[in-house]
Chains A and B, each alone.
Chain A
Amino acid sequence: MRLEIQSIDMKDLQAGSKTCATDRILYVNLKELEEILLKDRRIKSVDINLVYPGKRVRIVNLMDVVQPRCKIDKVEADFPGFIGRLQIAGGGRTRSLRGVGVLVSNPCTNRKYSAFLDMSGLVAEMSRYGKMKNISIAPRIAAGTEERDFEDAVKIAGLKTAVYLARCAEGHPVDEIEIYELDIPNLFGKSNLPRVAYYYQLYSPQHDHLGISDPCFYGADVRNLTPTILHPNEVLDGGLVGAHTIRALDTYTIQNHGVIKELYRRHGKDLIFAGVVCGVANMEPVPRKRQAVMASKLVKNVLGAEGVILTKIHGGLPHVDLALVAEECEKLGVKTAIFVQPLISYGTLADTLLFNAEAVNLIITVGATMERIRIPLDADRFLGGTAETKIFCPDPIVQHAGDPLIDVEQFLIAGVHDHLGGTNIMVKEY
């Protein structure tokens, strides 16, 4: 499978009478975009705003961030199963806009945790999105729409916006072309390099809002997924999107998947990228064990990998599932490197581990995503909600977006941590 990503570096984002891209400026016809998003009957109205680094704006109730991208050579192939027709993602040519992002807020959310972003101050300095020019969309719920159904509508509105923007940049000169080509069936026997696979934990049902799982895999939810094999291009090119919550993971992060891009970069030089096995976290011990043995079988006996990198999702519980997959891989002789996310910032580093498996001895941290941080207010404008929007604090403290100081955990800030290995953060013990 071969994927060509054509990237254009955008320097500016402006409202215009026609959506197009000229001289690295992306002009957006906000009215036209609004009309497109309002075609979804689940959406009553939508606030659309352009936000810039250095401006005193706080965007709240964030549920996703998306990089503007579209397929160039295929019809109805964008984010298949979500907006495009069902087909396998990851082949052909894709246009991608860099330096701009779609910030997707759900102002009608009842979820306990929602992410936020400031375009100035401490947060903007820490977040990769705080340095980009962004379009913020915040759809409002139409009467008679179920809460969970509306969340899907908001998600899709974000994806549609991303596709719309990328499509309208047609004709603009391209800055970089990246080729992602991996011929998995013919990888065997050609090289002495070690074969390394990637185990991608896609989802955990532990925070399912109202007990319903979020669709994130070709339009479907994957709560009961049996581990399966993916081509890495499917991940990079819209087959998968983020859940309806940002917890160190969003669609933008998946589109720029750290571990997959790194394995591609080293493919043929230091290693052979043997492919991707995906699975989910489980709430019960028997399905957990079933996942682990199935996944390790695919890694070892189908992809023929000698080594595997495993990444996790969400919070504490998925560590247990992930460690069990790693343990089963090690039993089969596959060497593992497992990602963890220390959930607390006290105790020693060893205290933070949520599993105890001797064979799982190479542990990589993406940083303590729940490290606390106090953020002085650096905004006088609020998008996606209001100054009264609640911001989650783990202590029994009620705080709001407009408070002079908020005390949060870093995973609530969009664009700082990344479960998929794309950020240069780690936790150290002092």
Chain B
Amino acid sequence: MSENKLKVVHYLNQFFGQIGGEGKADIGFMVKTGPLGPGLALQKAIGDKADVMATLICGDNTFSKNPEVAAEEGFKLIKAYQPDLFFAGPAFAAGRYGVACGAICKTVGEKLGIPVITGMHEENPGVDMFRKYAYICKTGNSARDMKESISHMTKLAFKLIAKEKGAHLVSRENLPRPEEYGYFSRIILRNEYTDKIAAERSVDKLLAKLRGEPFKSEVTLPKFEKIEPPLPVKNLLTSEIILISDGGLVPKGNPHGLSGRGNLRWATYEIDTFIPEDFNSSNYEIAHTGYFPVQILEDPNRLVPVDVMRDLMKEGKIGKLHPSFFSTSGNATISRRCAEMGEEMGAEIEKRGVNAVILTST
């Protein structure tokens, strides 16, 4: 083996590692020298530029019991090889195998900072779990697609280590285009230099649209599911109502670290101490950069209407105000995370036996 050849390590499950089928899915980790099974196709595709030094094998059940722990264990077995590239699978549509490939790629990539490449079918649950951490090539749903998948993965791997100068604004790092190299985008957004200024691109594309020709939007529209409004509250007198706001109201010092823009967190505050009747306006701050919060900083009731709720309780118009208030900051947070936070809050509200929610925004 010549010294400037790249070193490759490959991960396989018990089946592709030629140990056995489902009956062997409980085997632990083992390392075999050189390529094996799909590794032979991999070695052939990379030719004399690299050597598959070792193949790491583990049973699907063993790995999927606790993928994070398993990935650590697997990593310890192969780190001595000091690989320049790491491949896993491809796993096609196999769910446990996909998760194992993704998890081992994530750990190896984070520990060694080398390109980690695997392959999966779009329906494999490993895609959404690990697309951020590994280059996952798009494959067919079965091993019939092996040769082509290995070829894609190899092509992508060599592009990743080519170190060509790219268009990124800051690092000038070059990344392969997902559509060109057939992998699932890693959900990274980056600013890049382009040949044409935005004004010229806009005129070109608008003229195509005016001529009725195909045109390519630089951002594709999201698809949202339709959410039916809930039924009205049957009886306010017997209801416990919670106040939730995305206006970013937090105690001075922002102890839970809510961000003013693109926030990912929410926090709970007890109303009696957070917004008492004799509140002191110097105790608050607003973690939200999207509006001018002067009125709210003077009186937090203008965002979170505790004063009105207290009056309604006294007047006997509502049952009870829930003693806690949920606070978050909704300013350019992606809808995906908003939905997650909504689910988290919903579960918490259910646990607390609250019947109704008043959401106030800015």
Task: For the complex formed, measure the closest distance between the CB of A354 and the CB atoms of chain B, giving whole angstroms.
Answer: 7
Bound form: Cα–Cα A349–B262 in Å: 14
Chain A residues lying within 8 Å of B336, measured Cβ to Cβ, are 347, 351
Report the separation of the CA atoms of residues A258 and B221 in the bound assembly, to the nearest whole angstrom: 25
Q: Are B191 and A363 in contact (CB under 8 A)?
A: no
In the complex, the answer to whether A340 meets B219 with C-beta atoms within 8 Å is: yes
Interface of chain A residues 255 through 303 with chain B (CB within 8 A): 258-259, 261-263, 266, 270-271
CA distance A183 to B194 in the complex (A): 33
Interface size on B, residues (CB 8 A): 58
Among A196, A348, A366, A416, find the residue whose CB has the most chain B CB atoms closer than 10 A: A348
Q: Do B219 and A363 have beta carbons less than 8 Å apart?
A: yes
Whether the pair A364, B218 counts as a contact (CB closer than 8 A) is yes
Whether the Cβ atoms of A421 and B198 lie closer than 8 Å is yes
B202 at interface by CB-CB < 8 Å = yes
**CB-defined contacts of B32 to chain A, threshold 8 Å:** none
CB distance from A323 to the nearest CB of B (A): 11
Give the residue name and chain of the B residue nearest to A418 (CB): B198
Chain B, Cβ-Cβ closest to A345: B189
A335 and B198 contacting across the interface, CB-CB below 8 Å: no
Please report which residues of chain B, range 35-76, place their CB below 8 angstroms from some CB of chain A when the two chains form the complex. none
Complex: chain A residue closest to B222, CB-CB:
A350
Instruction: List, in ascending order, chain A residues with CB within 8 A of B199's CB.
Output: 258-259, 261-263, 309, 420-422
State whether the Cβ of B215 lies closer than 8 Å to any Cβ in chain A.
Answer: yes
Q: Is B210 among interface residues, defined by CB-CB distance under 8 A? A: yes
- B189–A394 touching, CB < 8 Å: no
Flag whether A428 is at the interface (Cβ < 8 A): yes
Complex Cα gap A421–B335 (Å): 27
Shortest distance between the CB of A182 and any CB in chain B (Å): 16
Residues 146-182 of B, flagged 1 when their CB comes within 8 A of A and 0 if not, give 0000000000000000000000011000010110000
How many residue-residue contacts, CB under 8 A, span A and B? Answer: 217
Q: What's the dominant secondary structure at chain B's contact region? A: loop
Which residues in window 115-161 of A have CB below 8 A to B? 122, 126
- Asked whether B254 lies within 8 Å of A396 as measured between CB atoms, the reply is yes
A410 near B187: Cβ-Cβ < 8 Å: no
Whether, in the assembled complex, B7 has its beta carbon less than 8 Å from a beta carbon of chain A, the answer is no
A247, B219: Cα distance in complex, Å:
22
Stretch at the interface among B230-238, B273-281, B287-295: B287-295
How distant is B8 from chain A, measured CB to nearest CB, in Å? 23
Chain A interface residue bracket vs B? 35 or more
Verify if B24 is at the interface (C-beta below 8 Å from A): no
Per-position binary interface string of chain A over residues 239-255, scored 1 when its CB falls under 8 Å from any chain B CB and 0 otherwise: 00000000000000000
Contacts of B334 in A (CB 8 A): 344, 346-347, 351-352
Question: Which A339-394 residues have a C-beta within 8 angstroms of B?
Answer: 339-340, 342-354, 356, 358, 360-368, 370-371, 373, 394
For window 210-235 of chain B, which residues contact chain A by CB distance below 8 Å?
A: 210-211, 215, 217-224
Further pairs besides A206-B291, A342-B189, A351-B336: 13, Cβ < 8 Å: A206-B292, A271-B207, A307-B206, A347-B189, A349-B189, A352-B334, A356-B222, A362-B205, A362-B217, A367-B169, A394-B289, A423-B197, A425-B169
Binding site for A on B (CB under 8 A): 169-170, 175, 177-178, 185-203, 205-207, 209-211, 215, 217-224, 254, 257, 259-262, 287, 289-292, 294, 331-337
10 contacts between A and B (CB under 8 A): A262-B202, A263-B203, A343-B332, A348-B187, A350-B222, A351-B222, A362-B209, A428-B192, A429-B185, A430-B188
Q: Which A residues are within 8 Å of any B CB, using their own CB?
A: 112, 122, 126, 194, 196, 206-208, 211, 258-259, 261-263, 266, 270-271, 306-307, 309, 315-317, 335-337, 339-340, 342-354, 356, 358, 360-368, 370-371, 373, 394-396, 410, 416, 418, 420-430
Query: A-B pairs with the 5 shortest C-beta distances?
Result: A421-B199, A258-B199, A262-B199, A350-B222, A343-B332
